[in-house]
């Protein structure tokens, strides 16, 4: 029996103030698949991720997440079952890393009053903190963390509710080289620790893709340029068309590299 899709997007349009942001977008995410949404600024990547994360309704078409169709489900309840990692996550006051991770259970920015985590929940928070490589900062206050440490702590937070779907919106934004590499390594390691987990990652830098990325969609001006397995989608020709610039794409040890190449033609 084939596993039920985690995400099904069918013929989606999204129009805002009379402007078409997305046009005729379709794709399916299954358990254990790791998707990348790629494209230049303004391509519609974040809008599509918001739909998959149950923050936006399509203007036309259908979006089903975890078997629930948008428009027929309480969006707030559905969001509780999705691990959403937002690097701009705001806190009401300086919580510790451990406290931030525990807020993933209540899907709140703060520890709820009159709520006490169980021993099992505390143990799980510590496991995820270690898995994401921030156990040495467990009791550190949020303002003292580097941007990379915050990003990894937020992934641990998103995993506390044991979601089937993890959404990452440009998680490497603002990181230096070391922070980026540490983040990519930990994201890639989730495949072994959580083999059934599906993920969708938004970026416009191919160098930020984890080696375990299985599928990709290229977006340009709200339209799909290519979608499918990374081997079929991530080619020099497709990337050149997507970014409207001659690009040579190579892959070494599972990581992608790009450079401008005037010899490339679509």
pLDDT digits (tens, 9 = 90+) for 211-259: 999 999 999 999 999 999 999 999 999 999 999 999 999 999 989 999 9
Average pLDDT value for residue range 181-210: 92
Quote the CA–CA distance of 21 and 201 in Å, as a whole number: 19
Quote the CA–CA distance of 117 and 59 in Å, as a whole number: 40
What is the value of pTM for the model shown?
0.91
Give the CA radius of gyration of the chain. Answer: 19
Query: Cβ(146)–Cβ(111) under 8 Å?
Result: no
Quote the CA–CA distance of 103 and 154 in Å, as a whole number: 10
Q: Which domains, from first to last, does the chain contain?
A: 1-81+164-182+194-266 (3.40.50.300), 93-162 (no CATH)
Residue 263: is its pLDDT beyond 60? no
Q: In the structure, what pLDDT confidence band is assigned to residue 1 with cuts at 50, 70 and 90?
A: very low
The CB density around residue 27, as the number of other CB atoms within 10 Å, is 21
The two structure tokens encoding residue 167: 């959404």
The two structure tokens encoding residue 55: 């923050």
pLDDT digits (tens, 9 = 90+) for 83-103: 999 877 878 788 999 999 999
The two structure tokens encoding residue 7: 């995400």
Query: Cβ(54)–Cβ(37) under 8 Å?
Result: no
């Amino acid at each position: 029996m084939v596993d039920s899709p985690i995400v099904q997007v069918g013929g989606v349009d999204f129009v805002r103030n009379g402007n078409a942001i997305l046009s005729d977008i379709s794709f399916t995410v299954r358990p254990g698949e790791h998707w990348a949404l790629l494209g230049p600024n303004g391509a519609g990547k974040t809008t599509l991720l918001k739909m998959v994360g149950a923050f936006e309704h399509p203007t036309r078409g259908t979006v089903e997440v975890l078997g629930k169709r948008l428009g027929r489900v309480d969006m707030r309840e559905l969001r509780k079952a999705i691990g959403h990692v937002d690097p701009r996550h705001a806190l009401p006051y300086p919580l510790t890393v451990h406290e931030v991770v525990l807020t993933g259970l209540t899907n709140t920015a703060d520890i709820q009053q009159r709520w006490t985590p169980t021993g099992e929940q505390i143990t799980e928070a510590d496991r995820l903190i270690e898995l994401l490589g921030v156990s040495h900062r467990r009791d550190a206050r949020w303002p003292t963390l580097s941007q990379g440490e915050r990003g990894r702590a937020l992934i641990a937070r998103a995993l506390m509710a044991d979601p089937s779907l993890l959404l990452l919106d440009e998680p490497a934004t603002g990181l230096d080289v070391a922070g980026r590499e540490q983040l990519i390594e930990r994201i890639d390691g989730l495949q072994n620790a959580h083999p059934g987990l599906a993920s969708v990652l938004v970026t416009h830098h191919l160098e930020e893709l984890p080696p375990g990325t299985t599928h990709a969609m290229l977006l340009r001006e709200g339209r799909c340029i290519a979608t499918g397995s990374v081997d079929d989608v991530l080619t020099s020709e497709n990337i050149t068309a997507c970014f409207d610039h001659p690009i040579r794409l190579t892959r070494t040890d599972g990581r992608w590299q790009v450079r401008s190449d005037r010899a490339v033609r679509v």
